[in-house]
Amino acid sequence: MDIVNDQTCFWINDLSKKISTNKVINSQECEWLIIGAGYTGLSAARKLGHLHPNSNIILVDAQLAGEGASSRNSGYLVDSTLNDGFTSNKELDNYKKKTDIYKLGIDSVKKFIKEYQVDCDWNECGKYFASSKVEDQKTLEKFSTTLNKLGFENNLLSNKELKRRLGTNFYNVALRTKGGILLHPGKLVRAMIDTLPVNVNLYENSLLLEWKKKNDAVICKFKNGTIKTKKIIFATNGFLKSLGIKSNYNFPITLTASMTRCLSDEEFISLGEPKEWGVLPVRPMGATIRMTKDRRILIRNTAEVFNPYQMSKSELTKRSLKQKIGIKKRFPELPDDIIQSTWSGIVSRTRNSSQIFEKIDNNIFVAGCYNGSGIGVGTLFGEQIAVKASNENTKELKVIEARNKPTWLPPDPILSLGVRARLFYERFRAKSEI
């Protein structure tokens, strides 16, 4: 695996450029090593820094910190999900366990941004689960009953109201949940980097090539050096499998998104000047689409098994075309050439869409696999895996440990074939919603 900074992502390009970074060189030793500097790894490092102010903590990333999926997502901090993975949540108890975790995730992010006065375009505007298919109303009514039982405020909306709020005639039915926050994912993760405790040493552009346990330590090999650590936390999410971690419980999926330029005054007026909004699909492979506060449209309508990890420019262009069609279907009045950037990102999935949060050996810990909820849950799981690895206890840990555990996956090629077939089927079911 080779990760290169591709500079395609709008959210990253919207930030000031980083000017200096350190790489892993020579041989080093530390008490704590964290691999992966996204929301999970950065939150783990922050927590460890506070719990062990006198310890030497090292955080390493293969690319620039924060520039993996944590900067490349759609920016929905969710309190509830309809399609997290391939199945809907039918059982109330299990669904409650999930939303309890989402709530703690939101609390963790809120606490972080309050404590450090972070500006990440936070907007508590709720979200819409929307469809162009009138028959999806049944699904939404069932979902509404579940949400009502758990005390989540929500209401069903039809075409006319949706047109007024979203500026598109495309959707015929939607369930709006009051909970749910929209934010700038790049600004959030950059703030996590900028506020790392002083006893955390960050090394970037340093790919972990190999790791092995030796007596009570873990030895990690990088291109230009090695790190020997007493304890290690793997926070590499979509890359867990490639490091041989929980390989039969997770697999990577590549998502692609596009962002338009800012709409002109005239274009924005033609849509009815909608306020910032975020739509999630009712059918799993439908488009996530968002109007940002600076009048851009973001769309994500692909999810696929894609290897190698880096998508070439020509591959991105193909996805961009699909996204152009997705935008055109919803906003036929807008010009064809308004997409400004297209990027891909890697996430990790489990079979039953449950998260990985585990001690896999005495001194080896892992957290990841959040499907579409990594902003909040990644932040929470990062902090709490640090707590667990420090042999401390919190009420959050109890909630996390009570979740359903990920279920076993068959090895390749059966796995890849199965996932591809499932994605194909879901894509077919959602073809009107892409």
User: Which of 55-63, 126-134, 263-271, 325-333 is the region at the interface with ligand FAD (rule: CB under 6 A)?
Assistant: 55-63
Q: Exposed e or buried b for every residue in 353-390, given b needs 16+ CB within 10 A?
A: bbbbbbeeeebbbbbbbbbbbbbbbbbbbbbbbbbbbe
Q: In the bound complex, what is the minimum distance in angstroms from residue 78's beta carbon to ligand FAD?
A: 6
Q: Cα 71 to chain center, whole Å? A: 9
Task: Return the ∠ at Cα 227 (arms to 249 and 230), rounded to 5°.
Answer: 70
Is 75 an interacting residue with respect to ligand FAD (CB under 6 A)? yes
Contact between residue 354 and residue 378 where contact means Cβ atoms under 8 Å apart: no
237 near ligand FAD (CB under 6 A): yes
Q: Are 283 and 431 in contact (CB under 8 A)?
A: no
Torsion of CA 171, 174, 180, 182, to 10 degrees: 10
Q: 128: how many CB neighbours lie within 10 A of its CB?
A: 22
Q: What angle do CA 177, 72, 157 make, to 5 degrees?
A: 20
113 binds ligand FAD (CB under 6 A): no
What is the Cα–Cα distance from 403 to 399, expressed in whole angstroms? 7
309 lines the binding site for ligand FAD (CB under 6 A): no
Specify the residue, 147 or 182, whose C-beta has the smaller distance to ligand FAD. 182
With contact defined as beta carbons under 8 Å apart, do 91 and 70 qualify?
no
* Min dist. Cβ of residue 269 to ligand FAD (A): 28
* Nearer to ligand FAD among residue 167 and residue 186 (C-beta): 186
204 binds ligand FAD (CB under 6 A): no
Residue closer to ligand FAD, measured from CB, 267 or 343: 343
45: exposed, middle or buried (C-beta count within 10 Å: 0-12, 13-18, 19+)? buried
Judged by CB, which is closer to ligand FAD: 41, or 49? 41
Under the binding rule (CB under 6 A), the answer on residue 144 touching ligand FAD is no
Contact of 363 with 30, CB cutoff 8 Å: no
For residues 112 and 118, is the Cβ–Cβ distance under 8 A? yes
Give the 3-state secondary structure percentages of the chain, helix then strand then coil, rounded to 5.
Answer: 35, 25, 40
Quick one: which of 257, 263, 279, 400 contacts ligand FAD (CB under 6 A)?
Answer: 257
State which of residues 180, 326, 345, 406 lies at the interface with ligand FAD (CB under 6 A). 345
3-state secondary structure of 345: strand
Residue 319: Cβ within 10 Å count = 23
Stretch that binds ligand FAD, among 154-162, 262-270, 328-336, 371-379 (CB under 6 A): 371-379
Residue from 10, 11, 76, 365 in contact with ligand FAD (CB under 6 A)? 76
What is d(CA 206, CA 221) in angstroms, rounded to the nearest whole number?
Answer: 10
Confirm if 304 and 257 have CB atoms less than 8 A apart.
Answer: no
**Is there binding between residue 208 and ligand FAD (CB under 6 A)?**
yes
What DSSP character marks residue 312?
A: P
Tokens of 249: 């419980």
- Is residue 306 involved in binding ligand FAD (CB under 6 A)? no
Cβ count near 402 (within 10 Å):
10
CB of 160 to ligand FAD, least distance (A): 27
Sole binder of ligand FAD in the list 46, 283, 300, 388 (CB under 6 A): 300
Q: Judged by CB under 6 A, does residue 243 bind ligand FAD?
A: yes
Q: Does 347 bind ligand FAD (CB under 6 A)?
A: yes
User: Which amino acid, one-letter code, is at 129?
Assistant: F
Which window, 86-94, 151-159, 229-237, 420-428, contacts ligand FAD (CB under 6 A)? 229-237
373 counts as binding ligand FAD under rule CB under 6 A: yes
3-state secondary structure of 343: strand
Which of 8, 28, 40, 363: binder of ligand FAD (CB under 6 A)?
Answer: 40
Q: Is 239 one of the binding residues for ligand FAD (CB under 6 A)?
A: yes
For residue 29, which amino acid is it? E
* Nearer of residues 99 and 237 to ligand FAD, judged by Cβ: 237
Residue 246 binds to ligand FAD (criterion: CB under 6 A): no
193/42 Cα distance (integer angstroms): 7
User: Which residue in 167, 179, 186, 238 binds ligand FAD (CB under 6 A)?
Assistant: 238
Total residues interacting with ligand FAD, rule: CB under 6 A: 40
Which range in 160-168, 233-241, 353-361, 421-429 contacts ligand FAD by CB under 6 A?
233-241
- The interface region with ligand FAD, picked from 6-14, 17-25, 60-68, 350-358 by CB under 6 A, is 60-68
Taking CB under 6 A as the criterion, the residue among 370, 406, 433, 434 binding ligand FAD is: 370
Binding site for ligand FAD (CB under 6 A): 3, 35-41, 60-63, 68-70, 72-76, 207-208, 235-239, 243, 255, 257, 300, 345, 347, 368, 370, 372-375, 378
